[in-house]
Amino acid sequence: MSETMKQYIEEAEKALLHTYNRYQIVLDKGDGVYLYDLDGKKYLDFVSGIAVFALGYNNKEYNDALKAQIDKLLHTSNYYYNVPAIEAAKKIKEASGMDRVFFTNSGAEAVEGALKAARKYHYNKTGKADGEIIAMNHSFHGRTFGALSVTGNPHYREAFEPMIGNVKFADINDYDSVEACVTDKTCAIILETVQGEGGIFPATEEFLTKVRKLCDEKDILLILDEIQCGMGRTGYMYAWQKFGIKPDIMTTAKALGCGVPVGAFLMTEKVGANSLVAGDHGTTYGGNPFACAAVGKVLDLFKQDNIIENVKVVAPYLEKRLDELKDEYDFIIDRRGAGLMQGLVFNRPVSEIINKALEKGLILINAGAEIIRFVPPLIITKENVDDMIDILRSCLESV
C-alpha cells in the first residue's frame, strides 16, 4: 500500500464516525465490472456497491444524462413539478405495474413511507391509531427507527429501544407463524421477497401466494421490500413478478439510481386513494430533477441493453459454478439465492476468505458471519464468473 493511500485511511479514521469496519483500500474509479484503488490496483467487483451498480461503472450514456441534468437544474423542492420526476414516475409505474409513486433519498426512507401509508390506511378504515404490523425474523429493512422496528434481528434493535411498537415477528416461508400473528388490528405484513442481510433466503411461491390470499381476505396490506432483490437482480424487474401476485405497497432503491442516492415506495390506486394525503408525508430532496434523471436513464438502459435478459443467461451459470465449489469443499454447506443474488453458506466465519480475495483483486462481501454474498453488476459475463471462481478457489485452498 502506498503512503498516499495510508494517509487517506488515517485521515478517514480521524474524521469519520466509526460505524463501519472498512476494508483497508481507498477506491478511486471504476470501469465496467472493475474497480481501481488509488494505487491503480484492479479489482473484479462482485458487490456492485451492495447491489447498486447494476449497469456497471462508467456507463457513458448514464454519465452523459447526469451531466446534462447538472447543467439544467438540480433541485426545485416538491412544491413544484419537474419533468425528470414525471418521466421517471411514468417509467417505474410501467416497470412495476404499480399506480402511485413517492420518490425518496434512500431505501430506509422508502420503508418509512411504506409503513406510514399502511398505518394511515388502517386509521382511515377504523378511526383508530392502533395498527399492527407483522414483519419477518432475520429480515433487514434499514437503520432508521421505523425500518429498524420491522428488522427481525434483535441485535440491531436492542440498544435503541423502544421501537415504534405494535410490531410482531413471524418466519419467512412459515405461513402458520404469520397467521398466528394476525389480529383485527393487523394493518400490514412486510417482508423482503428475497431476504438479503439475513442470509439470502428467497420467499417461496407457496408462501407468498398464501400471504397474499390472507391479506385479501382480511384487508391487510402486503408490503414487499425489493430494495436489494429488485431492479432485475433475480431475472425479473421485481422479484415478486415471478409469482403471479402483486403487493399493495412496495419499496425500491439501490439499483434504481445506479449510484445516485434515490429510492421510492409505490402503491396501488386503492392504497393511494385511502392513505397519505397532503401534509402526511414529505421530503426536501426526494424526487429532485437530478435523482429522477438518473432513475429515468437507468430504466431506459435496462430496456435498451437487455439487462434482465443477461441476468437470465448468466445467473444459471453462476449458480452452476457456485454449486461446483459447494460440492468440492466440505466446509461449504449450502448455496441459495435467486438470479444474481446468491449466497454460499460456510460452516465457519468467512471474513478471512473475503480478505484474501481482496488481496487477490476480487471484491466480495458477507451476509452474516458465515455467508459470502454475490451481488455483481448485472452486466457480468460468464467469463467474469469464471475469473471470480478461479480467484475464490485459490482463497479457499489457502484456508
Domain's final residue, options 304, 321, 340: 304
Are both 14 and 125 inside the same structural domain? no
Domain's final residue, options 304, 338, 360: 304
pLDDT in tens, 328-380: 999 999 999 999 999 999 999 999 999 999 999 999 999 989 999 999 999 99
Whole-angstrom distance, CA of residue 166 vs CA of residue 384: 46
Q: Which three cell numbers stand for residue 289?
A: 430533477
Q: CATH number, domain at 233?
A: 3.40.640.10
Say what the pLDDT of residue 197 is. 87
Are both 277 and 225 inside the same structural domain? yes
Are both 83 and 47 inside the same structural domain? no
Say what the pLDDT of residue 33 is. 98
Residue 189: φ, ψ to 5°: -120, 125
Say what the pLDDT of residue 1 is. 85
Q: 294 and 62 in contact (C-beta within 8 Å)?
A: yes
- Of 135, 173, 190, which is closest to residue 157 (Cα–Cα)? 135
Are both 137 and 30 inside the same structural domain? no
Least confident among 109-113, 311-315, 395-399: 395-399
pLDDT in tens, 64-112: 999 999 999 999 999 999 999 999 999 999 999 999 999 999 999 999 9
Parallel, antiparallel, or unpaired for β 341-346 and 371-374? antiparallel
CA gyration radius, the chain: 21
Are both 277 and 339 inside the same structural domain? no
Q: 62 and 298 in contact (C-beta within 8 Å)?
A: yes
pLDDT tier, 180 (very low <50, low <70, confident <90, very high otherwise)? very high
Residue 328: φ, ψ to 5°: -85, -30
Q: CATH number, domain at 25?
A: 3.90.1150.10
The percentage of the chain sitting over the pLDDT mark of 70, rounded to a whole number, equals 100
Single-letter amino acid code for the residue at 348: R
Domain's final residue, options 267, 283, 304: 304
Are both 296 and 310 inside the same structural domain? no
pTM of the model: 0.96
Are both 33 and 167 inside the same structural domain? no
Are both 265 and 139 inside the same structural domain? yes
Q: 65 and 270 in contact (C-beta within 8 Å)?
A: no
Q: Which helix (H) or strand (E) holds 196?
A: none
- Cα distance between the two ends of the chain: 23
Whole-angstrom distance, CA of residue 222 vs CA of residue 193: 11
Q: Which domain holds residue 273?
A: 61-304
Are both 205 and 222 inside the same structural domain? yes
pLDDT in tens, 264-278: 999 999 999 999 999
Q: What is the mean pLDDT of residues 43-52?
A: 97
Domain count of the chain? 2
Are both 51 and 94 inside the same structural domain? no
Are both 232 and 338 inside the same structural domain? no
Are both 315 and 220 inside the same structural domain? no
